[in-house]
A and B are shown apart, each in its own frame.
Chain A
Amino acid sequence: MNNIINDMRDKARQLLAEGKVDVVIGYEKGSLPLKATPFFAHSPAEVDSLIWDETCENNLATYVAKTPGKKAIVAKGCDSRALAVLLQENQLVRDDLYIIGVSCAGVIDQRKIVAEVGEILEAGINDGKISVKGMAGDKEYLFAEVKDATCQTCRYPNPVLEDVHLGETIAVSQEAPAFADVIALEEKSAGERQDYFKEQMSKCIRCYACRNACPLCYCQECFVDCNSPRWLTGGVNRAENLFFQAGRVLHLAGRCVDCGACTRACPQGVDIRALNRKMTKDVYTMYNHEAGISEDGKPALNEYTTSDPEQFLVKE
């Protein structure tokens, strides 16, 4: 892991010194334990702040379009898939982009740790073991125990798009995605599902952290902010929250790369992924499409075939 950080800093230093890029987007140590924060290195002197470990949970593709000039970006598998979708949608210029690819074994789900030890006071990562000192006690975890849910079923730990690769690649299974979590929910009755989402949506405070963390939510004006027509009244209640979340998921249909950034960004612990995963599964099963696995290609809803499934039509 240390070698990757050194290589990353060397590469960033070289790119900035040679003037190939104006800024390197990566991660630095955050102000809270087990948190990394996005970092923008503008000069070779700054690159020593760059880090790479299991706390680098943000999807950096979010920042690329907002950052002017030529940029290099540290990209995990999911970051690179988001970049691929943004390129497909002409939101980025490939020539302005230098992708430093790193293979990612997954990121830590802080919520699992906080649930057991309370607020994290100190933490250290050594050889895949995470030792945490919390308000309510100390504990040592194996990385696999606290891996984020989205990383546990990750099929693209290696970048799909990169200009240079640092470190080793991770072997992945070539099996079709299983969607066990979605199927478990689908097998429940409609009433149970309704109750589940009611409970989830009553937690939402509509802070829009999910929208802001999402690399693919880049609308100039989000439908929730739109005054004419006014889709939402602005009140925070379960029904409107579901309107927002369902609307967002429908906007992400065939585009979501399942990076889990929305769920990790949520301060309320809303299971946003349950909606996104369902959509990802539907797009995969109906149209055999996975978002952002290559630079060319189109999002699923920009294409059609004459033989698309039609079972949803009325019987008459």
Chain B
Amino acid sequence: MGEIQVEAENKKYEPKIAAFLCNWCSYAGADLAGVGRVQYPATIRTIRVPCSGRINPLYVLKAMANGADGVLVSGCHPGDCHYISGNYVARRKFALIKSLLNHVGLEEDRISFSWVSAAEGIRFAEVVKGVTERVSALGPNNGIFKVVDDGGAAADE
């Protein structure tokens, strides 16, 4: 859970997106996209989790606190969970996380949730493209969770 380094170089802004992918579907979907040589922006940093039900809401907050520009969480389609009901339980959690974080002022598109199956390599690339576009439009995370050295004062200016 180290700090995500912010590059100072003056090139085209490329967001850093923490992608939590479930082992059985979305990770395999990302793998299929790779095997199939499907092109998508190299903006995601993949974190493999056993199931979307494993996602602790704190993971999302911590990624934002550590400076990720966006978070993508993806699991099996409802009904296809390897553990039968993991993603159903996760779905309630995700809806509440998203709604609460929007309420405290985090931009709608910073945090994305999707279902991608192991057969949907092309769709996985499209999801990443879409998420990258939307996060790029928002710009870097100077948001309300990011912990910076001055205790958030810089973001207040």
Q: Do A and B come from one complex?
A: yes
A contact residues vs B (CB 8 Å cutoff): 185-186, 190-191, 193-198, 223, 229-231, 233, 235, 237-240, 242-243, 246-247, 249-251, 253-254, 275, 278-279, 282-283, 286-287, 300-302, 304-306, 308-316
**Do the beta carbons of B62 and A250 come within 8 Å of each other?**
no
From B6-14, B24-32, B95-103, the one touching the partner chain is B95-103
B contact residues vs A (CB 8 Å cutoff): 1, 57-58, 61-62, 65, 78-79, 85, 88-89, 91-108, 112-115, 123, 126-127, 129-131, 144-148, 151-152, 155-156
Greatest chain B CB density within 10 A among A254, A309, A316 is at A316
Q: List 10 A-B contacts (CB under 8 A).
A: A190-B107, A275-B103, A282-B99, A302-B89, A306-B79, A308-B88, A308-B91, A312-B94, A312-B95, A316-B126
Partner of A308, one of B95, B108, B131: B95
**Do the beta carbons of A304 and B91 come within 8 Å of each other?**
yes
Cα-based distance from A223 to B131 in the complex (angstroms): 30
A209 vs chain B, min Cβ distance (A): 21
**Do the beta carbons of B95 and A309 come within 8 Å of each other?**
yes
Main secondary structure of the interface of A (DSSP, over half): helix
**Do the beta carbons of B92 and A308 come within 8 Å of each other?**
yes
Q: How many A-B pairs with Cβ below 8 Å?
A: 139
Greatest chain B CB density within 10 A among A223, A247, A313 is at A313
6 cross-chain pairs, A with B, having the tightest CB-CB distances, nearest first: A194-B105, A237-B151, A304-B88, A250-B57, A238-B152, A312-B98
Partner of B96, one of A242, A279, A315: A279
**Do the beta carbons of A314 and B114 come within 8 Å of each other?**
yes
B63 vs chain A, min Cβ distance (A): 11
Cα-based distance from A242 to B104 in the complex (angstroms): 9
**Do the beta carbons of A316 and B104 come within 8 Å of each other?**
no
Cα-based distance from A196 to B62 in the complex (angstroms): 22
